[in-house]
Each structure stands twice: as structure tokens, then as C-alpha cells.
């Protein structure tokens, strides 16, 4: 490692982009030296204290050169220039921001919905994204762009582009979009597996959907934190950099200016500060690769049916079912559930012998199954005549194929 970037013990130090101050020597220096000679130890103490207050010394306490001059010559200032990302160098927040800000974008979306009165209305949303290739591929969160009919991207320089959706993965909350633009500033990937608790991190994103390019700093608070988000278990990095709605999909960078996480969640409460979470890059990269090449994540399975938890009398009446439980709300015509004979309105009793009390139970079981595996599902199927329900026990076997979303 270059000695300009380590202290006397060989430990790395933060190196600013520029440290440039100009001072003139005065006659005071000569007076101080004379006092040091005349008064011995007291003069030495005074002179040392005075010298410490001067910024024109050859080296500062961190060990990097600031200024140098020779008697009788014009004063010359040496500036440390930040040129590139080096994993052996550790930069200040200011330097990390300069390195990484151009790779973070603002994302705005429009989603078209239809009301119960068959009227269409448009909902707008906002988030962040990180450029991962110079030719326009951008990673963000699935929940930022899910269901969007229009996706717009604003670069750090203010230019705007229409983006197309390349692929999404709700399980990891990762999505890839693309704009038709070359020569972009792509983020440099880092190794999130090498992070330790206490490491400095910098979050860059678009909080509140209108403060693009916002930079906040913090530290890694915990590794592999198991968090449930929208019913899905995720293992995330916990950090203390301030994030807010709109930061989702933005970048989390290490002190070398390298991307080590995709910001995706914040836990907040009125009684304490919010806690930030990010998807580790080691988790995101394989997903990003599959989405870019295939448009979906290979090797995944899906039941091919949407489930709903009926746990109150209100919902039982709303859905017209006779008892509480986990019901099949809809079935994809080309999915594995339909192929096995599962129907809308069926109540799930057990999967592979495990009793089902919530839709989360089903997700937990499917998480441990792979393409080619079978699931034996016991159902209760109802037929209704007036106000009377008749139930039949039905057992089906679902054989899982590779899930390819539309």
C-alpha cells in the first residue's frame, strides 16, 4: 500500500480528495526558536505547542503530505488527486460521493389501475436505481417497478430517459431495467461478504422521490439480519445511514467507493430512529445476471396460485367461505397448481403432511423444494347450495417445473 494512505503502524487512513491550504512564514517563527533556545524545556514546550498549530509542516498526523517548500523558493502545494477506485484505499465520505454519485439514478413510475366502477386511474411512484453497465442496465428493487406501465429514469446530470423492464424477482426484491444510452458511469462492484460490523457505508438515493443524489453516511450495524418484508424472509445488511421512502433501489457503498448493497427497506417508529437495510451485493449479483440474460431467475419454482388468509368473520363473508383458513384465490392457467387440479376456492389443509395455518406456511415449505420435486397437498373443496356448504376432501400432487414469469 502507498505510504500516503497508511499511518506509521501500517493501518489505512482516510484520504481526502484535496487538502490545499496556503500559509506564509513570518518572523514569529524565528522568535519562537529563540525562545526555545533561551528558556530550555519551557521554550521547547512552547515552541512545540506553537508548531502544532501551524499547517505548513511537511506531514500531518495522518501521515500524508500536505505542503513543502525550500528556502528562497516560491511555496509549492502538493494535492492528493482521487483518480479511481482502489480496494486498498479508504476514502472520506466526500470522496466516495464523488466516485459513486454518477452511478445512482432517480426512478419515477406510473401504474394504471381499474376501480370497482371500471374507471382507470394512474398512480405515480418514485425510487432509486444503480447503473451496473455502461450501456444502460440499471438495478433497482422489484417493489419500485412492479406493475408499472411507465418507467422514467433521471441521471445525475439531470437528463431523462424512458426505461424498459428487463426482469424482476420478487423473492429477492431485485429488478433490472434498461435505458438506451451509452457511455454511462457504472458502479464498481465490491465484496459485501468482506464487510464487518462497524465498517463505514454511504447511501446514495432519491429520498421522498424528489431529493435525488442525496448522500448519507453510517456504519454496518449487523450482517445477515433476518427480516420479514411483505411476508417474505430476507437476509439483509443492517446499516445506520439515513434512508427514507424513495431511497429504495439506491446504492450502498463502502469506503472504497464500491457498491456493496442495494437499499430496500427501512424500519421506523415514532419512538426511535429508522433502521436501514440493504440487499447484499453477493445476494443480488446472481439474480441480476440471470435477469439480464434470461429475463427471469433460473431454477425457481412457483405454485402458480395466489393464496389468501381468511382469519375474520368479515373476510369470511366477503369471500363467501364457510370457515377460516388459507384459500386459493386464483389459479394461473399455465401453472403447476392448475396442472395438478387445484381450483379457486379450495382450502389448503396440509402440504407434505404439514398442517397449513397461514400462507406463510406454504411459502416456507416451497422454499425448500426445487424443480422436479413433488408436493402432496390436501384440500377441502366446497360446493354451495343456497346457504348450505358441502365439503369434499381432495388430495393432489403438484410436480414443480421451472417457473418462467410472463
What does the pLDDT look like over 128-143, one tens digit per residue?
Answer: 999 999 999 999 999 9
Task: Return the higher-pLDDT residue of 232 and 335.
Answer: 335
Residues 6+ apart with CB under 8 A from 338: 304, 305, 331, 332
H or E element that contains 279? strand 272-280
Q: Is the pLDDT of residue 62 over 50?
A: no
Separation of first and last alpha carbons in the chain: 50
pLDDT of residue 282: 93
Confidence band for 118, pLDDT divided at 50, 70 and 90:
low
Fold classification of 92-297 (topology level): Thrombin, subunit H (2.40.10)
pLDDT-derived band at 164, boundaries 50, 70, 90: very high
Question: Cα–Cα distance between 177 and 155 in angstroms, integer?
Answer: 14
Q: State yes or no: pLDDT of 401 exceeds 80.
A: yes
Write the DSSP assignment of 5-70 as a string of letters.
GB-TTS-B-EE-S---------HHHHHHHHHHHHHHHHHHHHHHHHHHT-S-SSB-TTS-B-EE--
- Element holding 340 (H helix, E strand): helix 336-340
59 bridge partner residues: 65
Count of beta carbons in the 10 Å neighbourhood of residue 91: 25
Please tell me the predicted confidence (pLDDT) of residue 250.
93
pTM of the model: 0.68
Is the predicted pLDDT of residue 387 greater than 80, yes or no?
no
Look at residue 207 in the predicted model and tell me its pLDDT.
Answer: 87
Higher pLDDT, 326 or 87: 326
pLDDT, one tens digit per residue, over 24-48 is 344 444 444 444 444 454 444 444 4
More confident residue, 334 or 378: 378
Other Cβ atoms closer than 10 A to 89: 21
Instruction: Residue 348: name the closest of 335, 332, 359 by CA.
Output: 359
CA atoms of 178 and 281, how far apart (whole Å):
19
Class of domain 305-399: mainly beta
C-alpha cell at position 26:
513570518
- pLDDT tier at 159 (50, 70, 90 boundaries)? very high
pLDDT of residue 318: 86
Q: In terms of pLDDT, which residue wins out, 170 or 71? A: 170
Provide the pLDDT confidence category of residue 17 given band limits of 50, 70 and 90.
very low
Percent of the chain with pLDDT over 90: 48
Cell 404439514, residue located: 354
**18 pLDDT exceeds 60?**
no
Distance (Å) of CA 267 to CA 141, 205, 241, 264, 316: 16, 17, 12, 11, 31
In percent, how much of the chain has pLDDT > 70? 74
The pLDDT tens digits of the residues spanning 316-366 come to: 888 888 889 999 999 998 899 999 999 999 999 999 999 999 998 998 899
Domain boundaries, the chain: 3-83, 92-297, 305-399
- Model confidence at 60, pLDDT cuts 50, 70, 90, reads very low
At residue 27, the pLDDT reads 41
Look at the alpha carbons of 226, 228, 233, 237 in this order and tell me if their dihedral is positive or negative: negative
Each residue of 252-273: pLDDT tens digit?
999 989 999 999 876 655 555 6
As annotated, the active-site residues are: 143, 173, 248
Average pLDDT over residues 151-180: 93
Mean pLDDT taken over the chain: 79
The x, y and z cell numbers of residue 148, run together, are 408499472
Contacts of 167 (CB under 8 A, 6+ apart): 175, 176, 290, 291, 292, 294, 295, 296, 297, 405
> Tell me, what's the pLDDT at 88?
66
- In the structure grid, which three cell numbers stand for residue 400, read together? 414443480
pLDDT mean over 95-116: 86
- Residue 102's alpha-carbon distances to 41, 156, 159, 368, in angstroms, are 55, 5, 12, 40
Q: What is the mean pLDDT of residues 364-373?
A: 92
Contact of 262 with 291, CB cutoff 8 Å:
no
**Residue 88 C-beta-side C-alpha neighbours within 13 Å:** 7
pLDDT in the model for residue 388? 78
Amino acid at each position: 500500500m502507498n505510504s500516503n494512505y497508511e499511518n506509521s503502524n501500517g493501518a489505512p487512513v482516510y484520504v481526502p480528495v484535496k487538502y490545499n491550504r496556503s500559509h506564509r512564514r513570518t518572523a514569529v517563527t524565528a522568535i519562537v526558536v529563540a525562545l526555545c533556545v533561551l528558556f530550555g524545556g519551557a521554550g521547547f514546550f512552547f515552541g512545540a505547542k506553537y508548531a502544532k498549530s501551524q499547517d505548513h509542516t511537511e506531514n500531518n498526523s495522518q501521515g500524508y503530505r500536505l505542503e513543502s517548500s525550500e528556502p528562497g523558493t516560491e511555496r509549492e502545494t502538493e494535492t492528493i488527486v482521487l483518480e479511481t477506485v482502489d480496494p486498498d484505499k479508504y476514502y472520506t465520505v466526500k470522496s466516495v460521493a464523488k466516485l459513486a454519485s454518477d452511478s445512482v439514478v432517480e426512478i419515477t413510475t406510473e401504474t394504471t389501475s381499474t376501480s370497482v366502477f371500471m374507471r382507470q386511474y394512474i398512480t405515480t411512484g418514485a425510487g432509486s436505481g444503480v447503473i451496473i453497465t455502461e450501456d444502460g442496465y440499471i438495478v433497482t428493487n422489484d417493489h419500485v417497478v412492479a406493475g408499472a406501465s411507465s418507467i422514467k429514469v433521471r441521471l445525475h446530470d439531470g437528463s431523462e430517459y424512458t426505461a424498459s423492464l428487463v426482469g424482476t424477482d420478487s423473492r429477492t426484491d431485485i429488478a433490472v431495467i434498461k435505458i438506451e444510452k451509452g457511455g454511462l458511469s457504472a458502479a464498481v462492484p465490491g465484496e459485501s461478504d468482506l464487510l464487518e460490523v462497524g465498517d463505514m457505508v454511504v447511501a446514495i438515493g432519491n429520498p421522498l422521490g424528489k431529493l435525488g443524489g442525496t448522500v448519507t453516511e453510517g456504519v454496518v450495524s449487523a450482517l445477515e439480519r433476518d427480516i420479514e418484508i411483505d411476508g417474505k424472509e430476507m437476509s439483509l445488511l443492517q446499516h445506520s445511514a439515513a434512508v427514507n421512502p424513495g431511497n429504495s433501489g439506491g446504492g450502498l457503498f463502502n469506503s472504497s467507493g464500491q457498491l456493496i448493497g442495494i437499499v430496500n427497506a427501512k424500519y421506523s417508529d415514532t419512538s426511535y430512529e429508522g433502521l436501514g437495510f440493504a440487499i447484499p451485493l453477493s445476494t443480488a449479483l446472481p439474480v441480476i445476471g440471470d435477469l439480464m440474460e434470461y429475463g427471469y431467475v433460473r431454477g425457481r419454482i412457483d405454485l402458480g396460485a395466489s393464496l389468501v388468509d381468511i382469519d375474520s368473520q368479515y373476510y369470511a363473508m366477503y369471500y363467501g367461505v364457510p370457515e377460516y383458513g388459507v384459500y386459493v384465490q386464483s389459479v394461473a392457467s399455465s401453472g403447476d397448481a392448475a396442472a395438478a387440479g387445484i381450483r379457486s376456492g379450495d382450502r389448503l389443509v396440509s402440504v407434505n403432511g404439514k398442517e397449513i395455518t397461514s400462507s406463510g406456511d406454504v411459502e416456507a415449505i416451497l422454499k425448500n423444494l426445487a424443480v422436479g420435486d413433488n408436493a402432496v397437498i390436501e384440500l377441502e373443496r366446497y360446493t354451495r347450495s343456497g346457504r348450505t356448504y358441502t365439503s369434499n376432501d381432495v388430495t393432489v400432487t403438484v410436480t414443480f417445473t421451472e417457473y418462467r414469469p410472463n
